[in-house]
Amino acid sequence: MFKNVIVKNPGNSFINGLTTSDLGKPILEKLFKQHVQYVEALKKCGVEVTQLEADEAFPDSTFVEDTAVLTAEFAIISNPGAAARNREIEAMEPAVKKFYDKVYYIQAPGTLDGGDVLQAEKKFYVGISDRTNEEGARQFKEIVEKEGYEATIIPLKEFFHLKTGIAYVGENRMVLAGEFVNHPAFASYDKIVIPKEDEYSANCIQVNDYVIIPAGYPETNRKLTALGYQTIELEMSEFQKHDGGLSCLSLRF
């Protein structure tokens, strides 16, 4: 069970953030509304929400997932791979320290974005991407193995972050798309396979009794509900314009 989440409000500068998409410019009014609905959904899942103030100096800082990895026992402050985002960790560190005594750090030349880290019970999967390098993944693996977890490093071929294309929804089950569907690392899991056209919905989050999915993917919703999951659908259009998905907007622990 998750007890807590940390989120950070988006600011007006969000429109100046990083993106590879051609979906257009985010509409701030819609963005703020979608973030409010995201926080409401988390509260419905029964977690305590720590809501950090927007920081206009860091347009992408609402994507808090990239700044840390939080487990039941310890925290890892990441070292984000995009220069424009790296110092987001300075504001996250004190917020994390309110909850944790044991805090580790990914150190340069290692880089790691939390979006490249997937936890499934006592196992971690770490993507090597444009943001997470081999040294960052190696440091991460060393830390979590010391803490009694396993870690598998997965060089990415296409996805932006590891969790762009995969989510763990409990009960030994993965929601996955694209390069992960037949990946040997995930062979032992039950799979909910997401086709190319619905790929964005592979980034969903299980929070206690619910799985939160992006709105507009009825097939993904149907597959999850058929398996007995209760879903919450959220409009994510404005975050998607800047390569963000549901997992990126919170740290859940």
* DSSP type of residue 37: H
Shortest separation between residue 61's beta carbon and ligand CIR, angstroms: 10
Helix (H), strand (E) at residue 94:
helix 89-97
Look up residue 108 and give its amino acid: A
Stretches 58-66, 67-75, 189-197, 213-221: which one binds ligand CIR (CB under 6 A)? 58-66
18 touching ligand CIR, by CB under 6 A: yes
Rounded CA-CA distance 7/213 in Å is 17
Q: Which is nearer to ligand CIR, 86 or 152 (CB)?
A: 86
248 included as an active-site residue: yes
Kind of pairing between the strands at 123-128 and 68-70 = unpaired
Shortest separation between residue 101's beta carbon and ligand CIR, angstroms: 26
Q: Which of 5, 137, 248, 251 binds ligand CIR (CB under 6 A)?
A: 248
Alpha-carbon distances, residue 127 vs 25, 146, 180 (angstroms): 28, 19, 11
Helix (H), strand (E) at residue 135:
helix 134-146
Four-residue CA torsion sign, 240, 132, 56, 103 = positive
Of 162, 102, 88, which is closest to residue 131 (Cα–Cα)? 162
204 included as an active-site residue: no
Q: Which of 244, 246, 252, 253 binds ligand CIR (CB under 6 A)?
A: 244
Of 164, 243, 158, which is closest to residue 201 (Cα–Cα)? 164
241 touching ligand CIR, by CB under 6 A: no
Q: 87 to 146, contacts with ligand CIR by CB under 6 A? A: 115
**What is the x/- site pattern for ligand CIR, positions 59-98, by CB under 6 A?**
-x--x-xx---------------x--x-------------
On whether the CB atoms of residues 170 and 224 are closer than 8 A, the answer is no
Rounded CA-CA distance 189/210 in Å is 20
Q: Which of 8, 35, 161, 241 binds ligand CIR (CB under 6 A)?
A: 161
Q: 205 to 234, contacts with ligand CIR by CB under 6 A? A: none
Q: Which is nearer to ligand CIR, 214 or 245 (CB)?
A: 245
Per CB under 6 A, residues contacting ligand CIR are: 17-19, 60, 63, 65-66, 82, 85, 115, 161, 164, 242-245, 248
Q: State the catalytic residues.
A: 161, 248
